[in-house]
Amino acid sequence: MVKQIKKDAVESLTTKFKKAKSVVMTDYRGMTVAEMTNLRKALRAERVEYRIAKNRLARIAIKEAGSEAADEFLIGTTAIAFGYDDPVVPARILNEFAKTNEKLKFKGGLLEGKKINIATIEKLAKLPSKEQLLSRLLGSLQGPSSKLAMAINQAASKIVYALKAIEEQKKAQG
């Protein structure tokens, strides 16, 4: 019975590691239940899953998922944040939380199955989200086209004013 529970846990973790675009492993030692609840609520709002995992089962799941081994991160108490949509979101939310709660410590993580260290996680946390990057790109693409439309509109307006001036001039002459 216990073996089956562990197999199911490994299968579940393997699926999560395969699906996740980014994974951040943290040490949560010393955090209260209320702090952990607040953190989970913030993560859940951004579609990030945060699970406490047994290190040995996580090692097996990472190997089965085909990701780079991250054994040095799986020591002591470990909670894992799985980011499925935007790889930046887990790092950003955990980094914001760690600023107000020194008990939460980064251990390392995985980005698209490749091992990343704490410095890389902190850099990820500073990147804009996927939506922000897309809106910047859209703004950059819209800039030239709106300027072109304005230039065409101004040229058409000048032609209309010129024709109107000619019309008024001919009325005055004749």
- Domain of 78: which CATH number? 3.30.70.1730
> Do 107 and 32 fall within a single domain?
yes
Quick one: pLDDT at residue 133? 67
- pLDDT for 120 equals 87
**Together in a domain, 68 and 107:** yes
Burial class (CB in 10 A: 0-12, 13-18, 19+), 43: buried
* Together in a domain, 118 and 165: no
Helix extents (H) in 49-109 = 55-65, 89-100
Domain span holding position 108: 2-127
> What pLDDT shows up at residue 144?
67
All residues at 6 or more sequence positions from 114 whose CB lies less than 8 Å from its CB, including other chains = 67, 68
User: For the chain, what is the domain count?
Assistant: 2
Q: What pLDDT is recorded for position 71?
A: 87
Indicate if 122 and 142 belong to the same structural domain.
Answer: no
Q: Which long-range contacts (CB under 8 A, 24 or more apart) does 14-19 make?
A: 14/60, 14/61, 14/64, 14/65, 16/49, 16/51, 16/61, 16/80, 16/82, 17/61, 17/62, 17/65, 17/67, 17/82, 17/110, 17/113, 18/65, 18/66, 19/82, 19/84
One domain, residues 123 and 163 = no
Whether 88 and 154 share a structural domain: no
Residue 16 structure tokens: 């999560």
The tens place of each residue's pLDDT in the chain, 174 residues long, gives 678 888 999 999 999 999 999 999 999 999 999 999 999 999 999 999 999 999 999 999 999 988 888 889 999 999 999 999 888 899 999 999 999 988 999 999 998 889 998 888 888 888 776 676 677 777 767 666 666 667 677 766 777 777 777 778 878 886
